[in-house]
Amino acid sequence: MIPGVTPTAKSLTLDLLSTLPGSTMPVGALVEAAALFGIQENALRVALARLRAAGQVERDERGRYRLGTAAQPIDRRVTSWRRAAERVRPWDGGWLGVHTAGLAPRPSERQLRRRGRALRFLGFETLVPGLALRPDNLRGGVASVREELHALGLEAGALVFELGALDPATEARARGLWDVAALCAGYRQSLADLAASERRLQVASEADAMVESFLLGGRVLRQLVLDPLLPEPVVPTAERDALVEAMRRYDRLGRACWAPFMERHGAVGRRAPADTRIPDGATRLAAG
């Protein structure tokens, strides 16, 4: 087990069910998987009941579970890492802005969390209080970004707009909002970690391979989902593209690691199960 990253009963349940489009999983499978991570059966069943009450999971007439409709919009965002190259377009130097200063002066903690998650998922950073920016290089432009931000939880009253012709000092500040050196170092480290894990998984036991692929695959998946997809003038993109390709290979390997478990329980996964909790441990990527 990798220290400090053990999944919770709630996050593990959502992560497993999110791999099953059109398929379901019995509670016994969830209990078996939970045991691999030291999660007790009672904790798993309590989490399952709460998730069902919140509409994040659903149970069919056979007592098998699937991902609920309440969790699906963000689940679609979590799977978007595979299409990173398709989501960007050449950058003409313009920016997208989100203005939140005119919203309710005392939003709830939950609303602040949802707003922050939406902005983070779309790669926005704060230029000044109440104004977040990102390069206007995502396909679909402002209309598509606005729609996705609101679907992810940004308040309807927030203004999402194009802006440009920044003065030189503000332009320099805007381009410096992202730690490009850290992004590039992260790409290189994850490439090395995936390569090392691929070698270990070839000889690992079924249980150890399931756990390692879930934890490491999840860490890299989070990295890609939260990547701001900055354009080439701001960050070199070759290493990001290489990491996406390496993660595709690792996902295939992870599916193979979990295949015997899935087959035993009559579940058909479209991707390898992976830990999608945000790194600060506060929540899963797809949590409300």
The side-by-side arrangement of strands in the sheet containing 25-26 is 25-26, 64-67, 57-59
Residue that wins the pLDDT comparison between 286 and 155:
155
Is it the case that residue 74 has pLDDT exceeding 70? no
Q: Provide the pLDDT confidence category of residue 3 given band limits of 50, 70 and 90.
A: very low
**Mean of per-residue pLDDT scores for the chain:** 90
pLDDT of residue 72: 66
CB atoms within 10 A of CB 77: 19
Cα three-residue angle 74-76-81, rounded to 5 degrees: 105
pLDDT (tens digit per residue) in 128-138? 999 999 999 99
**Which token pair is 21?**
């489009």
CATH placement of domain 94-163: 3.30.70
pLDDT of residue 73: 63
Is it the case that residue 278 has pLDDT exceeding 80? no
CA distance 84 to 107: 32
158 CB-near residues (< 8 Å, 6+ apart): 98, 99, 100, 103, 115, 149
Mean pLDDT of 72-95: 83
CA distance 178 to 197: 29
Helices 238-264, 27-36: axis angle to 10 degrees equals 120
Phi and psi for 46 in degrees, rounded to 5?
-65, -45
For the entire predicted model, the pTM comes to: 0.86
pLDDT (tens digit per residue) in 250-272? 999 999 999 999 999 999 888 89
pLDDT of residue 98: 98
pLDDT (tens digit per residue) in 45-59? 999 999 999 999 999
Residue that wins the pLDDT comparison between 190 and 75:
190
CA distance 18 to 73: 11
Mean pLDDT of 135-157: 95
Query: What are the sequence ranges of the domains in the chain?
Result: 1-88+178-288, 94-163
What is the residue-wise DSSP string for 13-55? HHHHHTT-TT--EEHHHHHHHHHHTT--HHHHHHHHHHHHHTT
Mean pLDDT of 15-20: 91
**Which token pair is 154?**
């940004």
The side-by-side arrangement of strands in the sheet containing 159-163 is 125-128, 131-135, 95-99, 159-163
CA distances from 181 to 122, 123, 250, 271 (A): 20, 16, 25, 30
47 CB-near residues (< 8 Å, 6+ apart): 8, 9, 10, 13
Q: Name residue, tokens 């890609």.
A: 224
First to last CA, the chain: 27
